[in-house]
Structure 1
């Protein structure tokens, strides 16, 4: 089993191939943690890494693990106490935005049982996908959630999500009628999650999660100004957002 907690300084790249080609890259860092055993940091560094149950799933459970268990139970899945590895942004200085949080879920014998992909959009909505990857970490699922204002809710995601080790190497691809529409990759290398390593990343990427949110909005404005048509947001997304904001 991968040692946790760990930090992954990484590069996130997005390539949009339709209806107009557009690419972006940014650097950030992600945490790999066991949500049952979050990192224990010195008091002065705790504002730089907080893992709050309100930021995941329904936001109304006493722990992240409880929220995950509720989601899995609704899908008929039980981990029987097995370990979970969560790849995510931590809350930094009171703010967090997680476009994608991944949970590698195992049984009590350490064997993989499933992966949960929890997606957040910039409108405050959340949606989780239950995935059963093959031995190479490949999985498929239909798109069910409004993310980009320039894509409707259609198509199929093809993902490659191997459990992080010394390297982090993830791919999410959206296929729509006519071919590949969008590809996102995350590439990085593992670092031991020491206080000094966290401080270095926080200094290199201050307000890291706010920077991610701001970059998404800035690129969205740029695409809009280039004439890309905005797709209307489904009513189900708005209702899901309201529930989470009230929790």
Structure 2
């Protein structure tokens, strides 16, 4: 086997006719301070190879589009080029290694991704890093470059305004193992010696194909708009309970993330 063949074999194949996977997910948010508040909702997420994005038949394309304008970097470039450009600002070169992205797709003209995850590998299939791309409801985005341990544990300083009820300080403790047949993700916010917020994502993988996508779209119609609505509704409820809104600082340009 040649080196090129070995590196091709090291790419983690995804199931299904489109070379991608769908995860039926349950997402839960639990807030413990200053008031206790919890909610959960169901949706579906895509796992795709950035070099082999799904090629849907024309009638189904309105249900799933993967576009650079919805993620980090320059909308005129590809998703892969933008991710490589961001990594280059941190001295990371994947040398063409596989990148798996977990995300909502643009569906019926709408998309909102509270978090998109990129699992990055070298050409031999070894994990190099994980990128967490976070969006808030104010149209801003921020990326965290993470170096998880073999179990997928990582931590980083909070640098981005997300919830209007938390200031921009504290740390995130994350558990982000690469997804397989099941998806199990956890993110804790640590602040003042406590964990006032925890988010979890649990899902079961299905091969991405016409029947799987149609089934998911029927079960979760206009899913990304529903995610955005859930977040806003819960915010209104917390505000009605008297939680003070924290000032939103101006988010500075992040090299390789914000469009030029």
For residues 187 and 71 of structure 1, what CA distance do their matches in structure 2 show?
28
Is the deviation greater in 124-133 or in 2-11? 2-11
CA contact (8 A) 1:150 1:229 kept: yes
- The superposition leaves residues 5-54 of structure 1 with CA deviations (integer Å, 9 ceiling, x where unpaired) of 00001000000011111001000000000111111112111100000001
Match of 2:9 in 1: none
Of 219, 228, 235 in structure 2, the residue corresponding to residue 220 of structure 1 is 235
| TM-score normalised per structure 2 | 0.90
Preserved CA contact (<8 Å) 2:73 2:83: no
Root mean square deviation, CA, Å = 1.4
Structure 1: 5+ residue runs without aligned partners? Answer: none
Aligned partner of residue 110 in structure 2, secondary structure? coil
- The answer (yes or no) to whether the contact 1:2–1:164 under 8 Å persists in 2 is no
Q: 1:116 offset after TM fit, Å? A: 0.2
Deviation of 1:59 after TM superposition, in Å, equals: 3.8
Aligned match of 2:187 in 172, 175, 191? 172
Aligned equivalents of 2:163, 2:66: Cα separation in 1 = 26
How many residue pairs match? The answer is 243
Give the Cα separation in 2 of the matches to 1:178 and 1:132: 23
CA contact (8 A) 2:21 2:208 kept: yes
The answer for the alignment partner of 2:24 in structure 1 is: 9
Q: Which residue of 126, 130, 134 maps to 1:111? A: 126
Q: Post-superposition shift, 1:138? A: 0.2
| Structure 1 residue 61 displacement after superposition | 4.2
Q: Is the 8 Å Cα contact of residues 61 and 67 (structure 1) preserved in structure 2?
A: no
Q: Does 1:127 align with 2:150?
A: no
Following superposition, which runs of at least 4 residues in structure 1 exceed 6 angstroms of deviation? Answer: none
Alignment map for 1:1-247 (pairs within 5 Å): 1=12, 3=14, 4-236=19-251
Pair 1:127–1:167, CA change in 2 (3 A): same
CA contact under 8 A between 2:140 and 2:251: conserved in structure 1?
Answer: no
Max Rg structure: 2
Q: What is the SS of the residue equivalent to 2:233?
A: helix
